[in-house]
Structure 1
Amino acid sequence: MNDTADTADTAGTAVSKVREYYRLVDADDVSGLLALFAETAVYRRPGYEPMRGQADLKAFYTGERVIAEGKHTVVTTVADGRRVAVNGVFEGVLKDGREVSLEFADFFELDAALRFARRDTFFFAPMV
């Protein structure tokens, strides 16, 4: 196998893991989605301090996250080796009962073990 095939195989695996992430988060399977993240993963999201490591991620997904339920629809996925960019739409209900529909963009970086080492999330919402 050549380097190009290795890169394509890695990118394909990375995309599969990202799609699995959205399936798990929408199913509220916190333990399953945490298993996709490296122990030292960093997650950056507007309105929150960077989350570092499994404990911060677990605290976010089991308590701090303002979403009660919903569904992510991935529109576009672009992969380059262990880096994956996604844009899509989230529709759901917040913990305060409000219904939301918003566009998002996520950027994932996977480590050599193909676990998420970094994730950055952006929302298309008025801020200024």
Structure 2
Amino acid sequence: MSNADPDAVRDYYDYIDAEDHESVFSLFADNVTYERPGQSDLSGMDEFREFYLEDRPLEDGSHEAHNLVVDGDTVAVRGEFSGVQDGEEVTFGFADFHRFDDEGQITERWTYTDRDEV
């Protein structure tokens, strides 16, 4: 049985867009890791929280998930973000992967975009 939950991943984007950070954090395990090409990996909830509360370069905007695919313990997403990054209007594509643990929380996350930094 798979613990991968595409509804939780959809909720993640809704929570991010609504800036509902506590709901975002509730989806992730305390030992979460987050890998982003060209940037430092995040390890553990403290670094994850700090990134979303203080360091995330994306500001007002919205995510549109075009496709979600479940494979085993992982949900893959292809989508588009439109909003503000470092004061500049941006629109870019992304691919995210969310791996779930046995308790149904996201324990690993990877993001790939067609921008240098996100």
- Pick the TM interval, shorter chain: over 0.9
Alignment of 1:1-128 (within 5 A): 6-7=1-2, 10-11=3-4, 14-94=5-85, 96-125=86-115
Q: 1:125 Cα deviation (Å)? A: 3.3
8 Å contact kept, 2:38–2:116: no
Say how many residue pairs are matched.
117
Separation of aligned partners in 2, 1:84 and 1:98 = 30
CA distance in 1, matches of 2:30, 2:66: 29
One-letter identity of the residue aligned with 1:99 = E
- State the 1:126 CA deviation: 6.7
Deviations 1:52-105 (A, max 9, x none): 1110011100111001111000001110132111000000012x3200000000
For structure 2, the residue ranges without an aligned partner over 5 or more in a row are none
Question: Contact 1:46–1:121 (CA<8 Å) still a contact in 2?
Answer: yes
Percent identity reads: 36
Structure with more contact order per residue of length (Cα contacts < 8 Å, sep ≥ 6): 2
* Distance of 1:86 and 1:92 partners within structure 2: 18
* TM-score, normalisation: structure 1: 0.85
Structure 1 runs of 4+ aligned residues shifted over 2 Å read: none
Letter paired with 2:49: K
The one-letter code matched in structure 1 to 2:39 is Y
Which has a greater percent of helix?
1
